[in-house]
Every structure is written in structure tokens, then in C-alpha cells.
Amino acid sequence: MKKIAFLLLLISPSASADGLKLPLISSTTLSDIHKLQKAELTPPTTPLASLTVFPENLKFEISWGPVNVGEASLEVAQKVSFAGKPAYHIVSQAKSNPFCDVFYKVRDLNESWMDAANLSSLGYSKNLREGHFFRDEWVFFDHDTRSFLARTVSKNGSVAYSSGTIMPHIQDILSSLYYLRSQTLTPGKNVSVNVNTKKNWPLLVRVIRKEKITVPAGTFDTVLIEPLIRKHGIFVQKGRKLQVWLTDDSKKIPVQMQVDILFGHVNAVLVSGVKSFLSL
């Protein structure tokens, strides 16, 4: 990665959905990716891809073995304008409870902006606080030039920018979960997703089996998948085993997620959010 804090990233201005030219996006013009988000645009003239889980607000209980350690959420509550394009705003949060805060305080916020026209990622933001672990970064994807601009803030406050190329229809770690939920998942068949986390890499997802499981939100027929994480993810660090149980229907709601850690595993189970779908 090349530091370009004092150089312009060579990204050409692009037309927004309302026909206006966006300003040049570079390390000198963009310090916060959230500045690219505005209120939802008026209905676009071109058809948009349907995200079947919109709107969504899922709540999870997190445990380490038999001990409750916190809560998490997955939400797609808004369709916004992001860099001039209609986008689904995806938000993931995790928070340890007061008991766990004493030993290992967690305050994580992950965001993704998914292009409402083709369900590719337009950018993502991470703000992670896990014990002594610190990560504060965002990445903007320019699909017109197939390039990205990334900004990382270190724990001591220093700022570094980097840039590079992206593949078509790129996903980030968070948007890839929603992209997978739009695919057909057949046990025994793997699914591959192009992901960028400041580097391009293929996220291979194994579709393991179908099974019925019970969680606080109810009993569900599910499909068990195992994403093979090569880089830092949303729910798992590089190289750790992650398993996700999705409902075996068109929504593919994640009802349980389990990740291996150094000692045992952490489990997240769905406690609410399914009724909002049943009422649609």
C-alpha cells in the first residue's frame, strides 16, 4: 500500500444519479466517508435491484460458552444517496454487557453502502474497539474507474491513505453477507464472492447442510454455511472458523452465528426481528 496523504488519488469525477458532477474524491478532499451520504434521492428513472430483506432490524444475544457477554444487531433501515447513487445503508453493531466490560470491552460499529442498482458495495466503514484492539478505517469504491480510496486512523491518531484497483461488482465483508443472501445456496456447492478489504481476494463460502435449529426467536429450517475468511472480517479475525445458520427460505435470515476463538467459541443467536418480515 502506498501512502498518498499529500497526493491526489487519480479518480475522475463521475455523474451522480441526478446528473450533477461529483467533486474529485481524493485524500485531500475526503476525510470522512459519511460526508458522501445524503438523504434518499427522489425515485430514480432506472429500475433498482431488489434487496428482499429491506427493511430489516435483527437483534442478537452473544454468549461465550454459557456466559452472556453482550448483544449485536444487523440493520438495513434506510435507502440513501451515497456518492450520488441510490444505496442501501447496512449497519452492524456489537456491544459487550457491563459484566464483560470489566474484562474485555467491545464497542463495534460497521457500516456498508450497497449500490441499489446492482447490489455491489460502494464503500464501508469500520470503527472497532475490542479490549486493546483498535481499528478505525473506511474504504470508498469507484466502480467507474475500478479503483478504491482508503483512509486508516491509527490508535495514536496518525492518518494514512492508500489506493488500488478493484474487480467488477466488488463486495466488502458486511455487504457480502447480504449478497450471499440473494443467492441460491445448495449443500455441497461452494459460492465465491469478490471482496476488497484494501486488497482484492475471493471469499469462498462452503454450503454445508440443511438442519432445523432452535434459538430464542423460534425454531427454523436453516442452511448452514461456512465463509472461509482470509482477511479480517466483521464477526471473525483472519483464519478463524465462522459458521452461519440462515433460514431456508427467500429471506435467508441469519439466526445463529458461531466463531472460534482462542478459548472455545462465541455464539450469536437471533432474539428478535423475524416478525417484521412476517408482517410484510
pLDDT per residue of the chain (280 residues) written in tens, 0 to 9: 333 322 222 223 333 433 334 445 666 668 899 999 998 766 666 677 888 899 999 999 999 989 999 999 999 998 999 999 999 999 999 999 999 999 999 999 999 999 999 999 999 999 999 999 999 999 999 999 999 999 999 999 999 999 999 999 999 999 999 999 999 999 999 999 999 999 999 999 999 999 999 999 999 999 999 998 765 544 444 446 889 999 999 999 999 999 888 778 899 999 998 754 443 3
| pLDDT at residue 273, rounded to an integer | 85
Tell me how far apart the alpha carbons of residues 144 and 235 are, in angstroms, rounded to a whole number.
30
- Asked whether residue 18 is assigned to any structural domain, the reply reads no
What phi, psi does 180 have (nearest 5°)? -60, -35
The reported pLDDT for the residue numbered 27 is 64
Residue-level pLDDT at 75: 96
Q: How many CA atoms lie within 13 A of 263 on its CB side?
A: 3
pLDDT of residue 269: 98
Structural domain tally of the chain?
1
Residue 115 and residue 111: Cα distance in Å, rounded? Answer: 13
Cell 445456496 belongs to which residue?
185
pTM of structure: 0.84
**228 located within any domain:** yes
Query: Residue 138 falls within a domain, yes or no?
Result: yes
Residue 9 lies in a domain: no
What's the domain range around 214? 33-278
Question: Residue 139 has which C-alpha cell?
Answer: 474504504
Q: What is the pLDDT of residue 46?
A: 66
Identify the sign of the CA torsion 164, 109, 244, 101: positive
Confirm whether 92 is domain-assigned. yes
CA dihedral for 217, 218, 219, 222, sign (positive or negative): negative
Q: 100-126: b or e for each residue (b if 16 or more CB lie within 10 Å)?
A: beeeeebebebbbbbbbeebbbbbbbb
Are 40 and 81 within 8 A, CB to CB?
Answer: yes
Answer yes or no: is 269 within a domain.
yes
Quick one: pLDDT at residue 120? 97
pLDDT value at residue 30: 82
Q: Cα separation of 72 and 256, whole Å?
A: 12
CA 35 remoteness from chain centre: 19
34: number of Cβ within 10 Å:
12
